[in-house]
Chain A
Amino acid sequence: MYNFDVEKPGTIAEAAAAMGADEAQALGGGQTLIPTLKQRLASPSTLVSLRGVAEMQGITRDGDSLRIGGATTHAAVAADGSYPALSALAAHIGDPAVRNRGTIGGSLANNDPAACYPAAALASGATIVTNTREIAADDYFQGMFETALDEGEIITAVRFPIPQAAHYEKFVQPASRFALVGVFVAKFADGVRVAVTGASNEGVHRWAEAEAALSADFSAGAIDGLSVSADNLIADLHGSAAYRAHLVKVMTGRAVSAAS
């Protein structure tokens, strides 16, 4: 690690101000950022810890919508249960240490192409709330590690519409146990949304053909006739693009079968 200062703001306003410093960087749970610092791959001047920002903590339900503070840990979401598919997803991120520190804001800001939360946010049609604006999930994810966030912008909360039925099916990359392919299926009154993580060089994305088929018939068999193109899917030592394409379909079918 290189040297850096740490700021511990108590409010969003203070946090935003601290982020104005040259080379400042937000610190959520540190589960991605701290290893990066240890390997000397980043050298921020100031880390702005969001842990003490009370407005960014906690989960509140408002009818069919769930608001999760940007600094809320995976463990807190896992324990909540108002949106069962989302809690189940959070319960399977990393290990207890990761879940007790890692935050939803950190995960969405990082937008790792194999992370789990991005699939939930995109399939649920969530809204990313920042210190300056609200961003629809469809506009937020812009490719591997790329998001609509501006320099210094802080995710203060995420709003999830709660679907009628949903499920996240994750086929783990065996080493990291991130998603080799993860599929989040969410059924709303006006249709089904399907988001795929882990598979694509372009990061999390929706599978439009499956959404159409499942909106007409919400059963695993509805996607039988579909096939997923391997074009632009990730190929690495854990699996070829063709294998990932195959898994997208298998995981989608399983997610539909398990959705509740």
Chain B
Amino acid sequence: MPKDTGIGASTVRREDVRFLTGTGEYTDDIVLAKQTYAVFARSTVAHGTIKSIDTSAAEAMPGVLAVFTGEDFVEVGGNPAGWLINSRDGEPMKEPKRPVLAHGKVRHVGDAYAAVIAETIEQARDAVEAIEADIDELPAVVDMNDALSGSNFVHDEIETNQCFDWGWIEDNREATDNAIKNAHHVTTLELVNNRLVPNAMEPRASIGSYKASTGEYTLHTTSQNPHLTRLLISAFVLGIPENMLTVIAPDVGGGFGSKIYHYGEEALVLAAAKKLGRPVKWTADRTESFLTDAHGRDHVTKIELALDAEGNFLAFRTDTKANVGAYLSNFSTATPTFLHGTLMAGNYTVPLVYVNVKAVFTNTAPVDAYRGAGRPEATYSLERVIDKAARELGMDPIELRRKNFIKPDQYPYASAAGLEYDAGNYDALMDKMEEVADVAGFEARRQASEAKGLLRGFGVNAYIEACGIAPSNLVGVLGSRVGLYDAATVRVNATGNLSVMVGAHSHGQGHETAFPQVVAEMLGIDPAVIDIVHGDTSKIPFGMGTYGSRSLAVCGSAVVRATEKIINKAKKIAGHMLEASEHDITLSDGVFSVDGTDKSVTFGEVALKAYIPHEYPLEDIEPGLEETAFYDPANFTYPSGAYACEVEVDPDTGKVRVDRMTAVDDFGNVINPMIVTGQVHGGLAQGIGQALVENTSYDENGQLLSASYMDYTMPRADDMPMFAVDHSQGTLCTHNPLGVKGCGEAGAIGSPPTVVNAVIDALQSGGRNVTHIDMPVTPARVWDAMQNAK
């Protein structure tokens, strides 16, 4: 097996041929016969009572086929939260209904209260303008503190804006408080993890269609997980039997989390398609994306770190308010809790962790998982407060971290935040980082910057994260309402080529290249004959889709298990063909041979035999060669890393330039190093974007000030340095067959604190006593901080 094709080879991404030649097929590219168009009427106020909606003028407009309002959906179910969180007092979280279209009240700017279906988009737009909605504006709830203290409620029926008040680990609360009270030193930091707009390149889009003769529905939609979307629509919202609903997520132009969730527009186009007997298409424009895609992050946190005189960590205590926006999006309750609180021990042997998270409703867009989902928030809090502690204690930030690292001989390690880490080597990562980042050369570079009138700073970070959330039994106990396995079917065709149907969805991750590398390696055949099928619930087994860096660790493991079953059966067939026991058959380089003989058959010959079973032991072996496996992991996987960043700050303008960025990650076994490097690059760009430029700003009336690219800054190529990425220090995951971890989110998790630590270092070493600046660290904020430090 040449190493330019199987596991470990940087195989060029086969999907890029269609993406780079403009021949990908995205939802909006699909044109169904007699297709009609939906346009939504959206609230321009953040909070208001719907007094009346008069659609008569709109209905009479040219080309208009139907107008829907919230009234049409009172009977159908709400879009549910996927994870039940109980408050510290045992009370279940508040779950106000999230309707298909707003009814009674509008709760954020962009909240849809009506939809027009027309022959053309322009006709639908014209008709939306003719809808007369009498909406009584109410004061908006925007600030989380106001939301918690006031009596102005986003959802009147729950009589509070607090969704839950969660403690983790509640049994540690008192001990943590005591540790902090009695500690030699306590470092305290208040910080904001800034809200982000996901900004997938492809806006959300959906086409609903319905076949009256059979009662079958089809939904083409921009989804990261078509089966999950089908389940939500079938079991909760519209009640369409699952076997009557096909959900197809074709090529999807980026998701970053925002396309995990089921949105009301999907239900609307299905319901409208049934009513009209014609397909109904909706495609978001960019403004709708800004206003209605689930946003990310938005935590306000106070973190305390207690240390002894030697710098040993004694306890972390966190107090976080997490904005969930106006409605609970599907994973909005899991993200600030189990994906955040459980990581609050970091890479450290700290004995005590206590996390309190209050989730807060506000009149803003719903907030949910966004690349990293909870782990970036945890890492940011930890790694910022550790940096501050190092400065307060006069310790080297790298040494302080090393002093508290879990050591390689301590695995499996039960963290103080309730996880069991299976493998890692944080010192090795730090060693490698110091080498790749040329830490030794920093002082010379600092002086060179100084000579140019610029302040250079060095920032470091050590992160651990958790991917492939699992196992289902555990998450069920913790409140998850879904399982978190994945599935794969390996179908060997008669002529020896393969279709592998997977539950994971590829929307930039390169599954179509990486998964065949795994199967090809196992079978010893050319990956070019292996094709990946994904995204269509009528073709693939029930899988949970792609998020949380789970595809390879969870779905890839299912692929391995299914391929093992194929090999076992193929050996039986080969044994029959070679008149030998299956136990004496060895598969190597695509050839089955009888041990100790020169008798052999090729993989292709076995495949043909399976489908043309002449002279075949039908009594012992079924014809065909197709196997399915479901895989439910035993644990999370735990990627970790050591990152470094060097910035130059212009003291006259406050402008920060990232000069060097080093990411040394432990992803376990790496299947395709080029794809992994690309995933890290993307994550770093998003992390640097969060750290320096991305600013989601609502005014006190709940208007989104940064609702277009004129005001919302996306990180651009010229904001980035050349990245130094290394994944040579992998320790294998101990519980999945490939030893893989997950690389999709690491860059976005590890980089924000690294960048901010570097900025603070630059200002400090430049003689400005600035201890913290909230993200995004814009020039104006840096300048303000320097003024205030004078």
Give the B-binding residues of A (Cβ under 8 A).
Answer: 1, 39-40, 171, 174-176, 236-240, 242-243, 246-247, 250
Contacts and interface: CB of A to CB of B under 8 A. Distances in A.
Nearest to A114: B710
B711 A176 contact: yes
B705 A237 contact: yes
Given A171-B655, A237-B705, 15 more contacts: A1-B122, A40-B129, A171-B653, A174-B778, A174-B779, A175-B693, A175-B712, A236-B705, A237-B711, A238-B780, A239-B778, A239-B779, A239-B780, A240-B780, A240-B784
Contacts of B409: none
A175 B713 contact: yes
Contacts of A246: 783
Contacts of A238: 711, 778, 780
Contacts of B122: 1
B780 A243 contact: yes
B615 interface: no
B697 interface: yes
A175 B706 CA distance: 9
A175 B652 CA distance: 20
B710 A237 contact: no
B125 interface: yes
Interface in B682-728: 693, 695, 697, 705-706, 709-714
A188 B517 CA distance: 68
Contacts of A242: 787
Of B129, B653, B693, B778, most A-chain CB atoms within 10 Å:
B653
Contacts of B779: 171, 174, 239, 243
A175 B709 contact: yes
Nearest to B710: A176
Nearest first, the 6 closest Cβ-Cβ pairs linking A and B are A239-B780, A175-B713, A174-B713, A176-B710, A237-B697, A243-B780
A175 B784 contact: no
B653 A176 contact: no
Contacts of B287: 39
Contact of A247 (B653, B713, B778): B653
28 contacts: A39-B287, A40-B129, A171-B655, A171-B779, A174-B693, A174-B713, A174-B778, A175-B706, A175-B709, A175-B710, A175-B712, A175-B713, A175-B714, A176-B709, A176-B711, A236-B705, A237-B695, A237-B697, A238-B780, A239-B778, A239-B780, A240-B784, A242-B787, A243-B654, A243-B780, A243-B784, A250-B652, A250-B653
Contacts of B783: 243, 246
B112 to A, nearest CB: 18
Contacts of B714: 175
A252 B113 CA distance: 50
A236 B706 CA distance: 11
A135 to B, nearest CB: 29
Contacts of B780: 238-240, 243
Contacts of B697: 237
Interface in B495-540: none
User: Interface on chain B toward A: helix, strand, loop, or mixed SS?
Assistant: loop
A175 B711 contact: yes
A236 B695 CA distance: 12
A70 B654 CA distance: 37
A166 B644 CA distance: 41
Interface in B610-656: 652-655
A237 B706 contact: yes
A236 B705 CA distance: 9
Interface in B765-790: 778-780, 783-784, 787
Interface in B222-266: none
Contacts of A174: 693, 713, 778-779
Nearest to A176: B710
Contacts of A237: 695, 697, 705-706, 711
Contacts of A171: 653, 655, 779
Nearest to B695: A237
Contact of A40 (B125, B654, B709, B711): B125
Nearest to A237: B697
A40 B129 CA distance: 10
A246 B787 CA distance: 11
Interface string B110-131: 0000000000001001000100
Contacts of A1: 122
A28 B86 CA distance: 60
Contacts of B705: 236-237
Nearest to B776: A174
A246 to B, nearest CB: 7
Contacts of A240: 780, 784
A40 B695 CA distance: 26
A242 B653 CA distance: 12
A176 B129 CA distance: 29
Contacts of A40: 125, 129
A246 B783 CA distance: 10
Contacts of B125: 40
A40 B783 CA distance: 38
A1 B125 CA distance: 9
A237 B125 CA distance: 31
Of A171, A236, A239, most B-chain CB atoms within 10 Å:
A239
A178 to B, nearest CB: 8
A239 B654 CA distance: 11
Of A236, A237, A239, A240, most B-chain CB atoms within 10 Å:
A237
A247 B784 CA distance: 12
Interface string B274-287: 00000000000001
Nearest to A175: B713
A126 to B, nearest CB: 27
Of B693, B705, B778, B780, most A-chain CB atoms within 10 Å:
B780
A171 B652 CA distance: 12
Contacts of A250: 652-653
Contacts of A243: 654, 779-780, 783-784
Of B287, B705, B710, B784, most A-chain CB atoms within 10 Å:
B710
Contacts of B784: 240, 243
Nearest to B699: A237
Nearest to A39: B287
A239 B711 CA distance: 12
A240 B784 CA distance: 9
B697 to A, nearest CB: 5
A1 B711 CA distance: 22
A160 B779 CA distance: 34
A63 B654 CA distance: 42
Nearest to A253: B652
A242 B706 CA distance: 21
A65 to B, nearest CB: 34
A176 to B, nearest CB: 5
A250 B713 CA distance: 23
A239 B697 CA distance: 13
Contacts of B713: 174-175
Contacts of A175: 693, 706, 709-714
A247 B654 CA distance: 10
B447 to A, nearest CB: 23
A176 B125 CA distance: 27
A240 B779 CA distance: 11
Contacts of B709: 175-176
